[in-house]
Amino acid sequence: MSGSPAYSVGIDLGTTNSVIAYTKLGEEAPRIELLNLPQVVATATIEDRKLLPSFLYLGTDADRDARSLDLPWGMQRDFAVGELARKQSADVPTRTVVGAKSWLAYSKVDRRQPILPWNAPADVAKVSPVEASKRYLEHIAAAWNAAHPESPLKDQQVVLTVPASFDAAARDLTREAAISAGLPEDTTLLEEPQAALYAWLADHADRWRRILKVGDTLLVADVGGGTTDFTLIGVTEENGELALNRVAVGNHTLVGGDNMDLALAYHATTAFASKNVTLDPWQSVALWHSCRAAKEVLLAAQGPAKQQVSVLGRGKKVIGGTVSVDLEREAVRSLLVDGFFPACTLADKPHKQRASGFRQIGLPFETDTAVTRHLAAFLSQQGQDGQAVRPTHLLFNGGVFKAAAFRERLTGTIGSWFGGRTPEVLSGNNDLDFAVARGAAYYGAAKRGKGVRIRGGTARSYYVGIETAGLAIPGAPRPLRALCVVPFGMEEGSQADVPSDDIGLVVGEPATFRFFSAGSRKTDMPGDLVDRWAEGELEESDSLEANLPRPDNVEEDYVPVKFQSRITELGVLELWCVRSGVEGATDQRWKLEFGVREDAE
């Protein structure tokens, strides 16, 4: 970064929509604004919008030659990002990338390989999840640079948001996409639920201490287009002042507005069937995307009693035409509220469906779409002595909660769990489409002493799998123990030596380290060895892969090492292997890089 940045810029790289907000640095009270994002909204038509739909349309040679996808900063383009791409997801789903952000967190595939659109035909030039994310961010960066040529984005303080449940590898891939898109090298990553709370703090800078008190527990319920995230933030006291501490984060749960759209599309197929219309797979995908718009219209505060959804006809009698059905508001409301926010008890847990012996490879969507049951499990898991955590306050985030029906059902259900003690809903500027980006911009200013900081450090504990020594048993793997290298809550800018016996580090050839994380083991410290763990307590993430150089004075294929872990100021995890028993050597340290798991397909 050259010179001092003039702006703090917050970017919400969302599953469904992306937003950029900013504030001038140096102002006593940050004033947060939203940036207009020029985008192609129809063939050869460009408009400014505050929202950039996170869709990527992979065009044809005809699109490029006709220059129908061009932007002021890009000529003869064969792709489009934004509103046109979202429309194309219904009309040409096999050429439209959807949900790239969710794929970034899915370690069963190689996220640097061109796999999207998933299951697209061979004639479509696919892109990787990292590349798709890069193109969204390139669009945002170009829009910023066009609006602020005197203050290019690469020279600003940029805060990019990620789901709280993203593990270290998903964060690293997000940052990789950001840097390759032209964002500054020191781009900071911030958890989305925290960003939502920062947006609320920005609107209540002088009043929040009168709303919250010591001992309160705030639940941020974030249900977006593709994921559900829960975060608990405690209110404490430090040096006589109220302080906010993030105390727990839920698992990465693939349930959100996309699931609702699919459920609504499934419901709509029965209406088509009553008209003797059987939809083929192409039309079914198109209907899914068409139902997204219908849901938003029907669940709006003054929504109509019914809304028509249409798909292009495919039969001989309807070539060039469409087939349509009406969806009724009350039926849709009942379907989605009861299907995704059903009344349940605090003892209920998400239902686990027995997996088929054969299944199609794809995103690991939850088999139980009940957000309320996932929340009950989260609050129970974070409690002590068999008592679930009771949130005293509730902050909604994510586009799903734009509908009052969902907010009311979740609030009422939580109250029923705790004897009618309903959490107080934090009100204010609840424009849920923009809260995360606004909060990220505010956080950038807060880092420079211009606002409140939420403390918390890492949202999970991290472990390296250590294979035990011993006699080999035919057909039986050696027992694995998990060595804690990063404790829950380790703060940015800090590092830790990991006490342990010497561990043999393979050098001179590729080596793989199995890597685990846990959101509920909050007392494990660096050097603690975990011999056994309950199912789901430790989650295996991406492996740590390295082909480390062999020192000149080493003949063996391994060297004895100990670990050092570090969380950078940007929120990036680094894990170092330090050679044991060698004093004064400056080249006897190796950094382990995150890689794609060997079982990625």
| Cα-Cα-Cα-Cα dihedral sign, residues 102, 108, 113, 114 | negative
The CATH architecture of the domain made up of 7-190 is 2-Layer Sandwich (3.30)
Nearby residues of 394 by Cβ (< 8 Å), 6 or more positions away: 218, 219, 221, 410, 411, 414, 423, 424, 425, 426
Residue 344 burial (C-beta neighbours within 10 Å; 0-12, 13-18, 19+): middle
Q: Which of 25-34, 131-140, 209-218 has the lowest mean pLDDT?
A: 25-34
Cα–Cα distance for residue pair 579/227, rounded to 1 Å: 41
- Identify the pLDDT of residue 356: 45
Question: Cα 475 from chain centroid?
Answer: 39
- Identify the pLDDT of residue 316: 47
- Identify the pLDDT of residue 91: 79
Residue 562 has pLDDT above 60, yes or no: yes
476 in helix, strand or coil?
Answer: strand
Residue 15's closest CA among 176, 186, 229, 209? 229
Residue 118 has pLDDT above 80, yes or no: yes
Q: Under a CB-based contact definition with an 8 Å cutoff, are residues 503 and 485 in contact?
A: no
**Please, which pLDDT band fits residue 582 given cuts at 50, 70 and 90?**
low
Residue 433 has pLDDT above 70, yes or no: yes
- Identify the pLDDT of residue 370: 95
Mean pLDDT of all residues in 334-357? 84
Token code pair at residue 263? 């459920």
- Identify the pLDDT of residue 364: 66
Query: Hey, what CATH topology would domain 210-255+346-427 get?
Result: Nucleotidyltransferase; domain 5 (3.30.420)
- Identify the pLDDT of residue 271: 84
- Identify the pLDDT of residue 469: 65
Q: Which amino acid is at 104?
A: L
Nearby residues of 484 by Cβ (< 8 Å), 6 or more positions away: 461, 462, 463, 498, 524, 525, 526, 527, 528, 529, 530
Residue 187's closest CA among 169, 167, 168, 172? 172
Asked if the domains at 7-190 and 210-255+346-427 fall in one CATH topology, the answer is yes
- Distances in whole angstroms, Cα of residue 62 to Cα of each of 70, 77, 374: 13, 10, 47
Mean pLDDT of all residues in 164-192? 91
Token code pair at residue 76? 């003869």
- The label of the residue with tokens 């290298």 reads 485
| Max Cα distance, the chain (Å) | 82
Q: Under a CB-based contact definition with an 8 Å cutoff, are residues 463 and 516 in contact?
A: yes
514-526 tens-digit pLDDT? 888 887 788 999 9
CATH of span 257-340: 3.90.640.10
- Identify the pLDDT of residue 35: 98
436-469 tens-digit pLDDT? 999 999 999 888 876 678 887 787 888 988 877 6
Domain ranges, ordered by start, for the chain: 7-190, 210-255+346-427, 257-340, 461-594
Cα–Cα distance for residue pair 258/101, rounded to 1 Å: 13
- Going by the DSSP 8-state scheme, the letter that residue 117 receives in this structure is S
Whole-structure pTM over 0.85, yes or no? Answer: no
Token code pair at residue 492? 């940015």
- Identify the pLDDT of residue 134: 98
Residue 81 has pLDDT above 80, yes or no: yes
| Cα-Cα-Cα-Cα dihedral sign, residues 97, 101, 106, 109 | positive
Nearby residues of 14 by Cβ (< 8 Å), 6 or more positions away: 54, 101, 224, 225, 436
Mean pLDDT of all residues in 169-193? 93
Residue 127 has pLDDT above 90, yes or no: yes
Residue 298 has pLDDT above 70, yes or no: yes
Cα–Cα distance for residue pair 135/129, rounded to 1 Å: 10
| Cα-Cα-Cα-Cα dihedral sign, residues 297, 298, 301, 305 | positive
